[in-house]
C-alpha cells in the first residue's frame, strides 16, 4: 500500500537528524538517490549541473537551479525565488529545453520522490499500484498526474 509521507518524516529517514531545509544553492544535504528518477545532488554537483548544462533558454543559474537529476539525464529545477517552485527539464530537448512547471514546491517534490520509491519497491514485488500512485499524486497537487514527465507503468 502506497502512502504520502510528510517531507519532515522522509528527510528524517534519509538524513537522520538533519530535517528538511528550504533548498537553496549551497545546501548541506548529501547526494541521495531517493528513487530511480530522483537523485538529489549535493551542493557541488548541483552547481556543476546548473552551470554546465547546455540549455540557454532555461535561464539556469538566473531563474532556475538544478538540484536533482533523473537516471536518464533529465533535470529537476528549483526556482531561485522564495517560492521553491519545481520544474522539469527534459534533456532530450537539448539546447531548446524549457522548464516545465509541475505545480509543486520542494517539499512536495520530496514527497513525490518518496512515492515513486514506494511504487518502484511495490513493482519489484510484482504489485501493480500505478493507479493508486496517480490518485496520491493528485492529492499531492491537482493536475500533477497529467504533467508528471514520466509514464507510470
Q: In the structure grid, which three cell numbers stand for residue 20, read together? A: 528538511
Q: Is residue 21 within 8 Å of 137, Cβ to Cβ?
A: no
Q: Is residue 147 part of a domain?
A: no
| pLDDT the model gives residue 48 | 94
| pLDDT the model gives residue 117 | 97
- Mean pLDDT, contiguous 10-residue spans, the chain (153 residues): 94 85 75 95 94 93 95 93 92 94 95 98 95 97 95 86
Q: What is the pTM of this model?
A: 0.94
CATH number, position 79: 3.40.1580
| pLDDT the model gives residue 128 | 94
Euclidean distance between the first and final Cα of the chain, in Å? Answer: 16
| pLDDT the model gives residue 53 | 92
Residues belonging to the chain: 153
Q: Is residue 48 part of a domain?
A: yes
| pLDDT the model gives residue 82 | 82
Q: Is residue 64 part of a domain?
A: yes
Q: Is residue 38 part of a domain?
A: yes
Residue 23 CA: distances (Å) to CA of 2, 43, 114: 26, 10, 17
Q: Is residue 138 part of a domain?
A: no
Q: Is residue 71 part of a domain?
A: yes
Number of domains in the chain: 1
Domain residue limits at 128 = 7-133
Edge-to-edge strands of the sheet including 64-69?
32-35, 38-40, 64-69, 75-79, 85-89, 100-105
Q: Is residue 143 part of a domain?
A: no
Closest CA to 63 of 78, 41, 53, 52: 78
Q: Is residue 144 part of a domain?
A: no
| pLDDT the model gives residue 27 | 77
3-state SS, residue 98: coil
Amino acid at each position: 500500500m502506497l502512502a504520502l509521507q510528510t517531507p519532515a518524516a522522509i528527510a528524517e529517514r534519509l538524513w537522520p537528524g538533519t530535517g528538511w531545509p528550504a533548498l537553496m544553492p549551497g545546501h548541506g544535504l548529501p547526494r541521495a538517490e531517493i528513487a530511480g528518477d530522483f537523485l538529489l545532488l549535493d551542493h557541488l554537483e548541483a552547481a556543476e549541473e546548473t552551470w554546465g548544462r547546455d540549455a540557454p533558454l532555461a535561464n539556469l543559474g538566473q531563474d532556475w537551479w538544478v538540484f536533482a537529476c533523473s537516471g536518464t539525464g533529465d533535470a529537476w529545477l528549483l526556482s531561485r525565488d522564495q517560492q521553491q517552485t519545481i520544474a522539469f527539464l527534459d534533456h532530450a530537448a537539448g539546447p531548446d529545453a524549457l522548464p516545465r512547471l509541475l505545480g509543486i514546491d520542494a517539499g512536495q517534490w520530496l514527497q513525490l520522490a518518496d512515492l515513486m520509491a514506494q511504487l518502484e519497491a511495490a513493482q519489484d514485488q510484482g504489485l501493480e499500484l500505478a493507479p493508486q500512485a496517480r490518485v496520491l499524486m493528485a492529492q499531492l497537487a491537482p493536475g500533477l498526474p497529467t504533467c508528471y514527465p514520466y509514464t507510470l507503468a
